[in-house]
Amino acid sequence: MKNPAIILIGFTLSLNNSAYAQQKKDANSNENLKLTIDKKLSNQANPVLSLADSLLKSYIIEDKALKMWESLTLNFQNGNYKNFTDGKILANQINQELFKISNDLHLKLVYSESPLPPILERNSNSDGDETMLVEFLENNQYGIQKQAILKGNIGYLELSLFAPLKQAQEKLVDAMKYVEDTDALIIDLRKNTGSLDPDTVPFLMSYFFENPVHLFNFENREKNSVKQLWTLDQVPGKKYLNKPVSILTSPQTFSGGEEFAYDMKYHNKATIIGETTKGGANPTSPVRINDHFLVVMPKERSVNTITKTNWEQVGVKPDREVDANFALYEAHYLLLDELYCKNDFLNSSQIDNAINELVKNRPQYKKVTFKLNDYLDAKNVAVVGSFNYWNPVKHPLKKVDKGWIAEVDVLPGEIQYKFIVDGEWILDPKNPNTGQHNEHTNSVIKISN
């Protein structure tokens, strides 16, 4: 069985294959930070202290790196970790402490029961790793979940991830060829959780730019380096130029998915429709702590050439904000209306018929009541699931005599969900039905039309 920590390094969708960094600081800043290190605490045999030193050396935001180092070393000196005998529980505890300081969705300490290799390599050339990657990509359709031509000759691509370009380029080219003769395009990133290759996003964006454009930089604090990312001059097939493009987003849209939406938005190549995205802009690299611990750490950051910043911790804000469940309907309607006004491609009666059919089949919500008994000492309880794109704050529950309750609007179909009780995600104790989502087990209910 492949070491689960190594699988995390290679295939976790929130990771990219490159490292980026916080903006360049004063040249003396790093030296000043290094002088604060108590050398007596820099014991590489201890995972907590080794983690603290690694964060201080490489984490993208220097002031937060220092605060995390101070917190970890002080807690270690005070003996706060001496009673932990389970590595996984220790990692979870430290992750909670680090998140309170960094608020960084990418930063994560990982425990592996099996010994880690001496050197962590994300781009392994072994036959076993290549086979596992191909299997993963095939199971996920190379990130292209759906392609279609909607009413009114509007193309539709649903992308759940940006796969490594080496393996996915042919699939992406085929997808763009499928929609190349449409009059408008919808790119659905509502379930897109990231990129496995920093070159994939610029490659796909090249279809929407007539000439090469400098999209963004990857700034590396530790190496004091900058890598530029550009669109390509030429791509296989036809470019998708001078036609309206809409991109759908949700609170589940993350990392590389946010990169694509953000850069398309600020380079004026698309209209963003839906909800604000998750807010993880700084891609990661794995750092080995010892034989059983590694930290997935943002060492660098992405910087857009237009805004001179990114979407870290704030997300990509839509141009037209609607419930993510209605984003596809909204985008389809608006594009049909735009084509109707232009009247360049289809005659008015055809577009009119398409609009009438779309409105007739508009998605309809159903009311669902979520109840969680007991937990009367809890401070905050919420319900999260596929119905709200796993947004942990959108649907809080109200405390009642015997527990907690909330009435929520959902679309018909199968719904996976969990309750969040003071930050802990739990299954519904009263619902024996479960299902899997991204290797997580969730409670399941089915809502009829």
pLDDT at 32 over 50: no
More confident residue, 115 or 209: 209
One domain, residues 144 and 104: no
Is 295 within the bounds of a domain? Answer: no
pLDDT at 370 over 60: yes
Is 294 within the bounds of a domain? Answer: no
Is 322 within the bounds of a domain? Answer: yes
Per-residue pLDDT band for 42 (boundaries 50, 70, 90) equals very low
One domain, residues 307 and 388: no
- Asked which of 318, 340, 360 is the last residue of a domain, the reply is 360
Between CA 406 and CA 134 the distance in angstroms is 42
Place of tokens 């937060």: 64
More confident residue, 121 or 361: 361
One domain, residues 307 and 221: yes
pLDDT the model gives residue 75: 95
Is 292 within the bounds of a domain? Answer: no
Per residue in 108-152, pLDDT tens?
999 999 998 886 655 555 556 678 889 999 999 999 999 999 999
pLDDT at 2 over 50: no
One domain, residues 198 and 272: yes
pLDDT the model gives residue 119: 67
One domain, residues 326 and 413: no
- Asked which of 360, 386, 407 is the last residue of a domain, the reply is 360
Per-residue pLDDT band for 344 (boundaries 50, 70, 90) equals low
pLDDT at 4 over 50: no
Give the number of domains in the chain: 3
Q: What percent of the chain has pLDDT over 70?
A: 86
Q: What is the CATH number of the domain that holds 443?
A: 2.60.40.10
pLDDT at 43 over 60: no
Per-residue pLDDT band for 8 (boundaries 50, 70, 90) equals very low
Is 288 within the bounds of a domain? Answer: no
One domain, residues 327 and 413: no
Domain that holds residue 94: 4-111
Per-residue pLDDT band for 350 (boundaries 50, 70, 90) equals confident
Q: What is the CATH number of the domain that holds 164?
A: 3.90.226.10
- Asked which of 360, 386, 403 is the last residue of a domain, the reply is 360
Between CA 251 and CA 172 the distance in angstroms is 24
One domain, residues 51 and 107: yes
Nearest to 120 by CA among 1, 290, 302, 280: 290
Q: Find the range with the poorest average confidence among 72-86, 193-207, 265-279, 344-358.
A: 344-358
One domain, residues 160 and 307: yes
The whole-model pTM stands at 0.85
pLDDT the model gives residue 126: 56
One domain, residues 266 and 312: yes
Per residue in 395-419, pLDDT tens?
999 999 999 999 999 999 999 999 9
Q: Find the range with the poorest average confidence among 6-15, 122-131, 155-164, 252-261.
A: 6-15
Between CA 403 and CA 420 the distance in angstroms is 13
Is 166 within the bounds of a domain? Answer: yes
One domain, residues 87 and 64: yes
Per-residue pLDDT band for 5 (boundaries 50, 70, 90) equals very low
More confident residue, 126 or 256: 256
